[in-house]
Amino acid sequence: MTNSQQVDLITRDRNQSAIILNDTRSRRSPIRDRAVQRLLLLKNPVASIDANLNPVYVRVSYSVDAGGPKHWVEGADARVPLSPGFTLGATAIHDADPATNRPCRA
């Protein structure tokens, strides 16, 4: 949704940070004022660790229509378990914004 933000609470494994144990999402109402985009008010504190001492992160994503040409932004994330306790992973992102002319990042 254009002009909206999404807040995720992500719990990662304390021994292997690439493993996400829990991912909760909360869709927020549309942003009405651009100044609000940089301010996030939480009603309750967010613990930095869970009951098993795994770290908890707050991730905020937002979508803003600032004009300009429409373009695609794509991403992919892949993981392959190779053996018990070892996983190989890769992430790639492509932003086709003609104004920035960024190449594919991995």
Q: In this predicted model, which residue has the larger pLDDT, 68 or 29?
A: 68
Claim to verify: residue 57 and residue 78 sit in the same structural domain: no
Residues 47 and 3 in one domain: yes
Residue with tokens 């979508």: 63
Q: Are residues 11 and 50 in the same domain?
A: yes
Confidence tier at 4 by pLDDT (50, 70, 90): low
Tell me which of 65 and 24 has the higher pLDDT: 24
pLDDT of residue 32: 47
- Structure confidence at residue 39 (pLDDT): 62
In this structure, the answer to whether residues 101 and 59 fall within a common structural domain is: no
pLDDT digit string, tens, across residues 42-82: 778 888 999 999 999 888 776 767 777 787 878 888 888 89
Three-class DSSP category at 63: strand
Identify which of 44, 48, 45, 66 has the alpha carbon closest to the alpha carbon of residue 57.
48
CA separation for the pair 21, 11 (Å, rounded):
5
Which residue range forms the structural domain that includes residue 63? 1-67
As a whole number, the mean pLDDT across the chain is 76
Residues 7, 59 share a domain: yes
| Shared domain check, 8 and 42 | yes
